[in-house]
Amino acid sequence: HEIETLLAAFNRVVADGRPELVLVSGYSGIGKSALINELHKPLVPPRGLFASGKFDQYKRDIPYATLAQAFQSLIRPLLSKSEEELSKWRNALREALDPNGQLIVGLVPELKVVIGEQPPVPELPQQDAQRRFHLVFRRFINVFARPEHPLALFLDDLQWLDAATLDLMEDLLSQPDVKHLLLIGAYRDNEVDATHPLMRRLQGMRQAGAFLTDIVLAPLAPEDLEQLIADSFHCPSRHATPLAELVHAKTTGNPFFTIQFISALFEEGLLTLDPSERRWSWDLNRIQAKEYTDNVVDLMAAKLTRLVPETQNALKQLACLGNSAEFTMLGMVYQDSVEQMHAQLREGIGAGFIFRSKDAYRFLHDRVQEAAYSLIPQELRAEAHLRIGRLLAAHTPPDKLEEGIFEIVNQLNRGSHLITSIAERERIAELNLFAGRRARAATAHASALTYLHAGRGLLTDETWKTNYGLVFSMECLLAECEILTGHTAAAETRLLMLAERAKSSHDIALVTRLRLTLYQRLNRSDRAVEVFLAFLGARGTDWSPHPTREEVMQQYERIWSLLGNRPIEELVDLPVMTDPDALDVLEVFNDVSSATVFFDTNLFALVGCRMVTLSLEHGHTDASCCGYVSFSTVSGPVCGNYQAGFRFAKLGYDLVEQRGFRRDQARVYVVFGTVSMPWSRHVRTGQEVVRRAFDTANRIGDLVFAGYCCNSLNTLLLAAGDSLAEVQREAETGFEFATNIRFGLVMESITPQLLLIRTLRGLTATFGEFSDQHFDERQYERRLAGDPVLTLPQCWYWIRKLQARFFAGDYPAAVEASLNAERLLWKSISFFEVAEYHFYSALSRAALFDSATDGSRQRHFEALTAHQKQHSIWAQHCPENFENRAALIGAEIARIEGRVLDAEQLYEQAIRSAHSNGFVHNEAIAYELAARFYSARGFQKFADAYLREARYCYERWGADGKVAQLDHLHPHVKKELLTSTP
């Protein structure tokens, strides 16, 4: 039945593609591994691939060790294939992993033989590196899990799994890009209770809709044992019944215990074969008189003691190393020659306690390993591990240390309390720091913390005086991993201590950057700004958290002073920054930039100006690229020089393209395309840059900025008036991407875009409203208002609602939405949504003017002229985008003021400019407003003609909801166009 359940799960994976997890649970020795290995037989190629790995209770802090073991079994056979076949695998692996192949080579070193030496992995912030690792691993696993050969991946003894592998398992089961994978896990249910991390995570997976199947293996019943003994000894069932009852009483039907118990009876002469009678016999009285333990480990230990002492000693050492060990490692810790080692283990093989493969030994079962380990007296175990750890450390070549570091420190740490030498304690602490760094690089932050705490425990406060560099590095990495694992209170306390202990300017900058990371992760931009300003103050620079515009302009003018007569474009050839102090300071400014953007506009501007100044004074580095594109958002919206802003942003882009400063490539691209270009170039120009930004971010695994690209592209598509059906598809794809990477901020940023698109296309219950059977506007607004993290999406929501209400003709609601957006607008000063706000707010107020009271009229007109002034500034710098908008607002002002000829000319200018620049939606609005203008003056034929043009433009845009509204309001206006323009 259980085999059929496994095969059914595999067949679902083959047919549907969706990954599935089968969990096999039961007591140790119940037959979990034996059951799953039976699945291997029907899965041999060409139908499927099978890989397996086993967790080890003594290696549970080694990140991904079991996955590495499993994929070694897939990679090694590739090396024996023909060059033609190997090249197919090589090409598939390279295509999937580029440019992050080193991440998987670090996990499975044999992979390097297949795909060759790999370049260093592109740098990412640590908080984003885990997403990248999961993405790359999914791409790696998808090379093997394909429709033509689905993959069954068996992970045994999940009760000992590490936190990093548990995260990865959940990711594999929840991401839609993983197909044709059957993940099988086995665990001892008696060692996994409801509080175990595995159980908590499995519950979450089930609630999230993952496909999970449970198989619970029960012990053998008395009748099963009776049949087993009858079959084994070729005797009638009635003859086997008494022995079966006795065995069941001892073993409770555990299969492994049962087999070992019966074997022990034979070895002690209590089960005998009578050759003459050709039958087995036993004496139940003698068996009952013999006191056998009820514990399988004790039984196995007793059997092991019958081996010669040399073999027992060899098995003890093997047990200290884990469930299995390669010959190389055993040779390092074995006191005799390699030949003697193999000779002494041979008896263990003959007795069935261990198996020998091509290059390793492994125990028959965990219980055998536990039994061998139990032969070492409790008080001598730490000493045994310490001896092994010292030998491994002494005999591991420096170029192999990274590969073997986890094995080394796992042994040393279990005996480190026996060390009295300060020098040796510091040496072992260094090795733990090395292990912590490697675990952190593998995004296994919980494992990293284990090693770092072990190393830190070997040091005292005196170490701050004798080996400052070691203890400082360890404390910094501890703080970083605490941030990444959510232990933020511990990290904050540690970083406060480090801020007082840091000696050099470099160390002070390092601690400052960690504190900035912490407070931004906690959404405490106020505390991040405090830390940043304290850092500046210690260096003799006093900035206010809320600087004045005059202070910004002073820094702005300093840039032009440093620039002199040089064209901005020539700055691309500045030398590389080498001053270490300047490098540290620039990185601090770069880190705080994202916190200041939502804290204070002038402070953000000041930071951007200073980043440019540092680069002009000291040369370029990766952070310079970010500085230049960030400065473009200052030069334009804050200082009014949009062309200079574009040129500086282009400089940052060129540094990536021409000088190879690619660390922040995706960030530079998306800011350049979304925030810099639209104020100086046609909005469609930025679309291609943002698409490149997405491709770059997705390729290197920078999923955060890949997510930002999704909503940024939608902004540009909506601004350009692209087909709403196409924009909806793009937005839904982006939303799905953000959902898959669990990027809530981007999901909430795309939601208002989708809401606007849907209502414009007539897909909501009421045109101009977002609510329908699946969405409640009011409830959503309350949720946005209650979450400070979502302030920017909240601003954009009100802007999209303003647009929706305007198109529906609900101008009071549109103005109300604009007032809600206005409160939050400072957070969106550099984004194109601010242009949408000014345009639609102006048109909504103009529409309300005639019906408003005298007091309201004044407020509407003042706001209207302010919107017009802003559009006139933008139109000077980028007429392609803003001439049509400025002209249309100007036409509405002229209409209100009774300047009829000016209004006519401006409506026509808006129509022509929108048409020539491809803004079909703005052309439609201009035609509609011109129609109202002519209708109010009694020129109904002109009005009808303009309405027909408006309807046609809305139809081209795909605004079916608006077309339906026009048809309802003006049924006499037909779709056909006039043959001549009035």
Q: Following DSSP, what letter does each residue of 779-817 receive, concatenated?
A: HHHHHHHT-GGGHHHHHHHHHHHHHHHHHHT-HHHHHHH
* CA gap 47, 356 in Å, rounded: 29
pLDDT of residue 980: 44
Are the beta carbons of 413 and 453 closer than 8 angstroms?
no
pLDDT-derived band at 923 (thresholds 50, 70, 90) equals very high
Q: Give Cβ neighbours of residue 499 (< 8 Å, ≥ 6 apart).
A: 508, 511, 512, 515
Q: Kindly state the DSSP code that residue 55 receives in the 8-state scheme.
A: -
Res. 768: pLDDT tops 90: yes
The enclosing H or E element of 151 equals strand 151-156
pLDDT of residue 812: 96
The alpha-helical segments, DSSP class H, found in 145-196 are 163-174
- pLDDT tens readout for residues 926-976: 999 999 999 999 999 999 999 999 999 999 999 999 999 999 999 888 665
Residue 762 structure tokens: 């007539």
Average pLDDT over residues 502-514: 96
Are the beta carbons of 429 and 458 closer than 8 angstroms?
yes
**AA letter at 934:** Y
Kind of pairing between the strands at 360-363 and 324-326: antiparallel
* CA gap 158, 52 in Å, rounded: 12
The widest CA-to-CA distance across the chain, in whole angstroms, is 126
**AA letter at 278:** R
Report CA 446 to chain centroid distance, whole Å: 16
Res. 979: pLDDT tops 50: no
Res. 44: pLDDT tops 80: no
350: exposed, middle or buried (Cβ count in 10 Å: 0-12, 13-18, 19+):
exposed
* CA gap 516, 65 in Å, rounded: 33
Q: Which bin fits 660, alpha (ψ -120 to 50), beta or left (φ > 0)?
A: left
Are the beta carbons of 629 and 675 closer than 8 angstroms?
yes
Rg (CA), the chain: 36
Helix/strand number for the chain, H first, E second: 48, 10
Residue 798 structure tokens: 């009100």
* CA gap 686, 310 in Å, rounded: 74
pLDDT of residue 204: 84
Res. 46: pLDDT tops 80: no
pLDDT of residue 45: 55
CA-wise closest residue to 743 among 702, 696, 788, 693: 702
Q: Which bin fits 387, alpha (ψ -120 to 50), beta or left (φ > 0)?
A: alpha
pLDDT of residue 109: 87
- pLDDT tens readout for residues 751-760: 999 999 999 9
Residue 112 structure tokens: 């390097």
Which of the two residues, 951 and 599, has the higher pLDDT score?
951
Length of the chain: 982
CA-wise closest residue to 430 among 405, 400, 465, 398: 405
- pLDDT tens readout for residues 247-277: 988 888 989 889 988 998 888 888 888 888 7
How many C-alpha atoms does 660 have within 13 Å on its Cβ side? 2
Q: Kindly state the DSSP code that residue 212 receives in the 8-state scheme.
A: E
* CA gap 320, 299 in Å, rounded: 19
Residue 578 structure tokens: 């080498």
Cα angle 943-944-945, degrees, rounded to a multiple of 5: 90
Res. 714: pLDDT tops 70: yes
Lowest mean pLDDT among 340-344, 501-505, 543-547: 340-344
Q: Which bin fits 337, alpha (ψ -120 to 50), beta or left (φ > 0)?
A: beta
- pLDDT tens readout for residues 616-656: 999 999 999 999 999 988 888 778 889 999 999 999 999 99
The alpha-helical segments, DSSP class H, found in 17-77 are 32-38, 40-43, 65-75
Q: Give Cβ neighbours of residue 696 (< 8 Å, ≥ 6 apart).
A: 665, 666, 669, 702
Res. 208: pLDDT tops 60: yes
CA-wise closest residue to 427 among 381, 475, 390: 390
Average pLDDT over residues 483-509: 95
pTM of the model: 0.86
* CA gap 255, 271 in Å, rounded: 18
User: 3-state SS string over 823-862?
Assistant: HHHHHHCCCCHHHHHHHHHHHHHHHHHCCCCHHHHHHHHH
- Which residue do the tokens 């000016």 mark? 902
pLDDT of residue 904: 97
Which of the two residues, 432 and 299, has the higher pLDDT score?
432
Strand-pairing partners, residue 363, are: 354
Res. 475: pLDDT tops 90: yes
Residue 100 structure tokens: 């992050």
Strand-pairing partners, residue 185, are: 23, 155
Average pLDDT over residues 373-388: 95
User: 3-state SS string over 623-669?
Assistant: HHHHHHHHHHHHHCCCCCCHHHHHHHHHHHHHHHHHHCCCCCHHHHH
Q: Give Cβ neighbours of residue 306 (< 8 Å, ≥ 6 apart).
A: 267
Residue 611 structure tokens: 């980043």
pLDDT of residue 975: 60
Q: Kindly state the DSSP code that residue 704 receives in the 8-state scheme.
A: H
Res. 716: pLDDT tops 80: yes
pLDDT of residue 977: 52
Highest average pLDDT, of 128-132, 284-288, 725-729, comes from 725-729
